[in-house]
Amino acid sequence: MKKLAILFTILLATGNIIAQTWTWDREPEAGQNVNIQINDVPSEEGPLHAVVYYFDGTELVSNDVGMLPSDNPSRINMALAVHEHTSWVRVVVKNEFNQIGSSDEKFVKNPSALPKAGLVEQALGSSVYARLLGIEANNGDVVSSFREAIKAYPQWLDNPEVYRSYYFMAKRAEAAEDLAAIKTYSNTLTQKSNAFSEALLVNAVRATKDMGDTTLSLSLRKNLDKKYPKSIMMQEEKLTSFTKASTVEEKIKIRDQFKAQFPATKENTRMLDQMSSSLAQEYAGKEDWNKVKSYVYEVIDPTTRANVCNTYAWKLSGESIEAEAKNLDIAAALSASSLSLLSTDNPIPTGLTKKEWAMVMDNNKAGFGDTYALILFKQGKYEEALTHQSFSVANNKFEDGEMNERYAIYLQKAGRTQDMEKFMDQIMVTGNATEKVKMMHKDYWIQTATKDQLYSQYLKQLENQAQAMREEKIMKMWESTEAPSFTLRNLNGNLVSLADYKGKTIVLDFWATWCGPCKASFPGMKKAVEHYASDQNVVFLFVDTWENGDNIDAKVADFIKTNNYPFHVLMDSEAKVVNDFKVSGIPTKFIIGPDQKIRFTAVGYSGNNDELVEELKTMIQLVQENAGMQKS
């Protein structure tokens, strides 16, 4: 299975870097420079970088912060250029995996700013972008900040983002006074709607409808339609009719009407791309690959189109070396297009810096290049395949087993036996070889280096080295954090608490039915569960969270039953436990010791089930050994 990844683990993950002291050499001022020093940073954290988040108006901006030389490995020195328009900044320090480990924020002296601009910016950061910025905000405090700013300068509510965020947070905090104030303000929009923007009216229509005031919502909608007859709400309704259409012909007709009625803008690109992608999917079901290609090429956003191109190119490649390819010519065209579309000049998603975006582009280049290499291999273009695959395996630090396997096979087919031998030795030692590569390694070693009867001894030596390196790598992840207590219902309706398993080693796996990497990891997790089935001191708990839609319990239960997974599933329906554990991307696993302390945190899935099982076994073994040492 091709390696899977979740982008928001790159953006949102929280790590364990601990910085005890932040020192700013001066109070930050708009348009001025400020130096920041952080002390007591653990040196074993590896390469670190810093990012500053701030607002230009109500638009979140993120920039890389300059890291200055330091003669102390436990000290970070930074030089921050404060933007001339902002009134608040938040600086975070991240490790090489973009996990936030330490952060600090300051209000910025800005004489030209609107009244209480700093409070508004802080409130927006703590509400709209809290997870991205690593903020643990109190809903009531955020509402109070909005309230104070709006009291000082009522025109803040004219800003669509302030209105929307204030309403959202007031609703979450159940702040009746603030909700009433928002409704009162919304009434004024019906009287002088010509003075307000489309975005503000759209937000007001939605908020008042959500508050249950249908009359006011309809009145606002009437004003919206009158002033903005091509509003985003009109476009969304057209998109809804598209999604409800029962035939591909109806969908094409509706999409053509949409394009004729609503010219492409920054705001509706996502909808246009959704329709083009949907039509491509319709024709993929009919295996009309020329039509698929034509609609894929109509996707506007370059990064989105690149992803869609790669999706169909991978499908057409057969998704493995052994499987038959359906249409190599179209697969090659789509795959080549996916790579050509990758550029750091593409629109950068909110919250990413240029350096982080470049890393995302490299990760995409590696994944898409792996697809293209497979297609080239099947076309007999072995050297070209190796060019792309070599970048893919290196970018993944030779940790993706299936990518490694394909690279070894390409080397073999291209006749580059010395390179193949060296590469196979490397990934055998690091524990990143699949069973196929192990067999290739055995066959090659027997035929060229020594006799079969000596192979087992040689293999054992490599495996011992691999295990030693695995343990060394995993021990760097060791932590000692109290696990948040919780009580959840399982699929049988019984209450289950973390405290029920005190004295046991617990593997806590946060997942969701929509999460591709979660589901891809489950065959490996099944192996791990079955391996410890007779060990009463090891417990696996699978916490379903962040689910969407209705009848969630039934959907989850059906998924588990259909796949015959022997998992004990707990339902985190309100997403409280996932927040308490500060999970920012799934799958995330916590290995909790008998003392109820978190000892390891593993985010994401590498794509190699064998390695997943071995890593879990190593983590569990280390936790149990530590518990035994404490007892003695």
Q: What does the pLDDT read at residue 15?
A: 45
User: Are 423 and 526 in the same domain?
Assistant: no
Residue 389 forms part of a structural domain:
yes
Q: Where does a domain end: 179, 201, 223?
A: 223
Q: pTM of the entire structure?
A: 0.74
Residue 50 forms part of a structural domain:
yes
Q: In whole angstroms, what is the distance from residue 335 CA to residue 338 CA?
A: 5
Q: Which of 414, 412, 406 is nearest to 390 (CA)?
A: 406
Residue 126 forms part of a structural domain:
no
Q: Which of 21, 38, 103 is nearest to 73 (CA)?
A: 38
CATH number of the domain to which 72 belongs:
2.60.40.10
Residue 124 forms part of a structural domain:
no
CATH number of the domain to which 394 belongs:
1.25.40.10
Strands (E), 480-561: 481-482, 487-490, 495-497, 505-511, 538-544
Residue 249 forms part of a structural domain:
no
Q: Which of 599, 631, 604, 605 is nearest to 618 (CA)?
A: 599
Which residues span the domain enclosing 49? 1-108
User: Are 101 and 144 in the same domain?
Assistant: no
Q: In whole angstroms, what is the distance from residue 612 CA to residue 314 CA?
A: 24
- How many domains does one find in the chain? 4
Q: Where does a domain end: 198, 223, 248?
A: 223
User: Are 160 and 262 in the same domain?
Assistant: no
Q: In whole angstroms, what is the distance from residue 279 CA to residue 254 CA?
A: 11
Q: Write the CB contacts of 470 (distance below 8 Å, at least 6 apart in sequence).
A: 431, 614, 615, 618
Residue 240 forms part of a structural domain:
no
Residue 561 forms part of a structural domain:
yes
Question: 91 and 113 in contact (C-beta within 8 Å)?
Answer: no
Structure tokens at 327: 């249409």
Q: Is 449 exposed, middle or buried (0-12, 13-18, 19+ CB in 10 A)?
A: exposed
User: Are 170 and 262 in the same domain?
Assistant: no
Q: pLDDT tens across 475-505, in order?
A: 778 888 899 999 999 999 999 999 999 999 9
Question: 20 and 98 in contact (C-beta within 8 Å)?
Answer: no
User: Are 422 and 274 in the same domain?
Assistant: yes
User: Are 591 and 486 in the same domain?
Assistant: yes
User: Are 103 and 153 in the same domain?
Assistant: no
Strands (E), 445-530: 481-482, 487-490, 495-497, 505-511
User: Are 423 and 290 in the same domain?
Assistant: yes
CATH number of the domain to which 579 belongs:
3.40.30.10
User: Are 156 and 74 in the same domain?
Assistant: no
Helices (H), 173-325: 176-191, 198-210, 214-227, 232-244, 248-261, 269-285, 289-296, 302-317
Residue 236 forms part of a structural domain:
no
Q: Where does a domain end: 108, 127, 162?
A: 108
Q: How far apart are the first and last CA of the chain?
A: 44
Q: Which of 227, 224, 251, 229 is nearest to 240 (CA)?
A: 251
User: Are 423 and 362 in the same domain?
Assistant: yes
Q: Which of 426, 421, 427 is nearest to 450 (CA)?
A: 421
Residues of the chain with pLDDT under 70: 1-20, 43-46, 193-194, 449-454, 456-459, 461, 464, 467, 470, 628-632
User: Are 281 and 190 in the same domain?
Assistant: no
CATH number of the domain to which 184 belongs:
1.25.40
Q: What does the pLDDT read at residue 451?
A: 62
User: Are 419 and 528 in the same domain?
Assistant: no
